[in-house]
């Protein structure tokens, strides 16, 4: 007995894979950066507004995948992140604020967002 609907299954599968591999993943990665960045901002030592205002995010799509990056352009950002001078004005400030914002504090929200986004 021949299988019915095979053509529709292939077409729908291709459409779904194309959606996941393209614009959906770019949007999800951008939203993950926004979530993690929000947690990192709360941990960022605010010596001046220069550090906070030098923050940027970038999403890069290649043939092998999609990557996102949050970074700071302030010259002293790496030193502060790695635990340099701890004369911080903010009591909640911590070193490695980007790492902790994404991997410790924001992890549950990020995982929930990924599951929710790809379930649709």
pLDDT in tens, the chain (120 residues): 567 777 888 888 888 777 777 788 999 999 999 999 999 988 888 766 788 889 999 999 888 889 999 999 988 888 888 876 677 777 788 888 899 999 999 999 999 999 999 886
Predicted pLDDT of residue 4: 77
Q: Return the half-sphere exposure (C-beta side, CA atoms, 13 A cut-off) of residue 37.
A: 18
Predicted pLDDT of residue 112: 96
Using the 8-state DSSP alphabet, how is residue 22 labeled?
Answer: I
Angle between helices 107-119 and 25-43 (to 10 degrees): 160
Domain ranges of the chain: 6-119
**Tokens 């926004």 belong to residue:** 34
Q: Return the half-sphere exposure (C-beta side, CA atoms, 13 A cut-off) of residue 60.
A: 7
Q: Return the half-sphere exposure (C-beta side, CA atoms, 13 A cut-off) of residue 40.
A: 25
The set of residues, in sequence order, having a beta carbon less than 8 Å from that of 107 and lying 6+ positions away, is none
In three-state secondary structure terms, 46 is: coil
Q: How far is CA 69 from the centre of its chain?
A: 7
What is the per-residue DSSP string for 63-77? TTEEEEEEEE-STTH
In three-state secondary structure terms, 41 is: helix
């Amino acid at each position: 007995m021949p299988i019915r609907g095979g053509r529709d299954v292939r077409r729908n599968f291709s459409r779904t894979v194309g959606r996941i591999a393209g614009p959906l993943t770019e949007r999800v990665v951008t939203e993950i950066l926004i979530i993690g960045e929000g947690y990192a901002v709360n941990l960022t030592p605010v010596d001046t507004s220069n550090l906070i205002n030098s923050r940027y995010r970038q999403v890069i799509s290649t043939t092998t995948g999609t990557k996102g990056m949050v970074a700071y352009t302030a010259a002293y950002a790496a030193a502060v992140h790695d635990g340099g001078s701890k004369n911080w004005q903010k009591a909640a400030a911590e070193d490695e604020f980007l790492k902790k914002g994404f991997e410790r504090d924001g992890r549950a929200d990020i995982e929930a967002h990924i599951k929710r986004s790809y379930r649709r």
